[in-house]
Amino acid sequence: MLSLGLINEYMKKISNWALEGESIVKDFHFRDFKQSMSFVNRIAELSERQEHHPGIVIDFNRVKISLTTHEEKGLTSKDFEVAQEIDKIA
């Protein structure tokens, strides 16, 4: 698990993600439901490759992603790496 100082450093490297408790979260907005689902499916492929799975909430054209490392009970560098990859997909 990362210290608060390291978390703050990693937060500078990702855009528009927010720290919520032991997770980092971001809302993504799309034109319609079909685009939302396409985005989620690409995240699923990434997550399987990285063996690191986010929380995902889909609400029509909005997708909320939440990342934390459950085994560590907090944030690790893996969460920030996956966040950067998710941003590339979007």
| Residue 22 falls in the annotated catalytic set | no
What separation, in Å, do the N-terminal and C-terminal C-alpha atoms of the chain show?
Answer: 27
Number of Cβ within a 10 Å radius of residue 6: 14
Q: Say which of 20, 45, 51, 79 is annotated catalytic.
A: 79
Q: Which of 9, 27, 32, 70 is catalytic?
A: 70
* Catalytic member of 22, 53, 81, 85: 53
Is position 45 annotated as part of the catalytic site? Answer: no
Active-site annotation holds for 53? yes
Asked if 72 is an active-site residue, the reply is no
The distance from CA 79 to its chain's CA centroid, rounded to whole angstroms, is: 7
Active site residue 79: yes
For residue 69, list its beta bridge partners.
74
Would you please indicate which residues are annotated as catalytic (active-site) residues? 48, 52-53, 70-71, 79
